[in-house]
Amino acid sequence: MNPEILNSVHPAGPSPGPDAPLTCRPAPASAPTPAELAVEVRKLMAGTAAEPLPEEAFDRLARRWFRTQYAAVPPYRRWCDRRGQTPETVGHWTEIPAVPTAAFKELEFTALTPAERTTVFESSGTTASRRSRHFHHADSLALYEASLWPWFRRHLLPEVEPPPALRWLALLPPSGQAPRSSLVHMAAAVIRQTGGDAAPGCFLAEVDAEGGWRLRTAETLQALEAAEQAGQPVALLGTAFSFVHLLDAMDAAGVRRRLPAGSRLMKTGGYKGRSREVPPEELERLLAERLGIPAAWQVEEYGMCELGSQAYDRVAGRPAERRLFRFPPWARAWVASPETGRPAKPGEVGLLRVFDLANVWSVSAIETGDLARAWEGGFELLGRTPGDTPRGCSLMPRAEEETGE
């Protein structure tokens, strides 16, 4: 195993605040099964409000999850033993060892046997690169979808129940071409949940020979024109670079669209490792100008294949507010000091860690490799740690002109 990975997780702080004292509570004597935890967290997803769980309640749940995963995931148990942190020694959820995403490239952090695995989500990258892997079976995929839907609906479809009738357009390949993309699976799942058509026709990219995602720009421009003429609001889903390629195609064609009121978009992914970067504020402005989707209806998503939950930075249609990412109540993000591993003070830059109760059959405590600042009510994402690999699907899209077509 790569020793750099083993040494990349700093000792976690003992409390949610940088100077708070340790509060130990006895850990439960026995570990529930992952299936039992799945039932428990699904009840939480179905009944919880948007407000975070009380600290003591989340701590109790997180430490129960740790006990189960320590018992059920052998590589994680060895990881924890080498650090000297076990369910018997951990007194607070921030002490639970967080596995860096890079370790998922080398070890199989899963409670599922090879025979039980039916799906694997992989991180983005070149075809030659080693990728992080998150293994699933039918029950874990059902839990993944149960986790993603309520938080997606709250942030992208906040108006009424049932959600408004939208024309869904995904600047992504269909799942048949990208079966190992958690983002593609997520897009198909939310479209189906709203009663929309998740057929390949609403997925407007394709996978090229090198594994990149190539946007079918002519087809995308036609779909946007048809939606504008029909007066049907559009929901666009895609990576940041897919939107950049769309804007480039619109500029080349001399096209601007004024999509109907109620149109919205969700973008995800960063720019590191690509030749063209567009600052977030400029991209937001350009999308508003070219598509007619106001900034208030543009939502940023933060997710990764190693997690079962996603964070969003605003509720669609709300007036301007501070753009902070927030996870659902069953997941909690915190920022660790890179020097001490203790929780950083508000506004200080540190390493973003997430504890995700939706990761029942894997590992809940994840060190993301991203830099962030914690503020009251959420976190500000700053980008990857120096020398780390670019995250997520921002590496995947390729413009048609990049492939010579």
User: pLDDT confidence of 26, banded at 50, 70, 90?
Assistant: very low
- Specify the pLDDT at position 212: 83
Question: Hey, what are 270's tokens?
Answer: 């960063």
177 found inside a domain: yes
The answer to whether the bond into 34 is cis (omega within 30° of 0) is no
Q: What is the pTM of this model?
A: 0.86
Kindly report the number of other CB atoms within 10 A of residue 69's CB atom.
Answer: 27
44 found inside a domain: no
Q: What is the pLDDT of residues 236-248, one digit of tens each?
A: 999 998 999 999 9
378 found inside a domain: no
Q: What is the SS3 assignment for 389?
A: coil
> Taking the C-alpha atoms of 157, 161, 164 and 170 in order, what is their torsion angle to the nearest 10 degrees?
40
The CATH number assigned to the domain holding 258 equals 3.40.50.980
370 found inside a domain: no
Q: Which residues contact 278 (CB under 8 A, 6 or more apart)?
A: 240, 244, 271, 286
Q: What is the pLDDT of residues 33-73, one digit of tens each?
A: 999 999 999 999 987 666 778 999 999 999 999 999 999 99
8 found inside a domain: no
Residue 254: domain span? 138-324+390-403
297 found inside a domain: yes
53 found inside a domain: no
User: pLDDT confidence of 200, banded at 50, 70, 90?
Assistant: low
199 found inside a domain: yes
CA dihedral for 147, 383, 313, 326, sign (positive or negative): positive
Number of domains in the chain: 1
Task: Indicate the range of 138-142, 182-186, 381-385, 391-395 predicted with least confidence.
Answer: 391-395
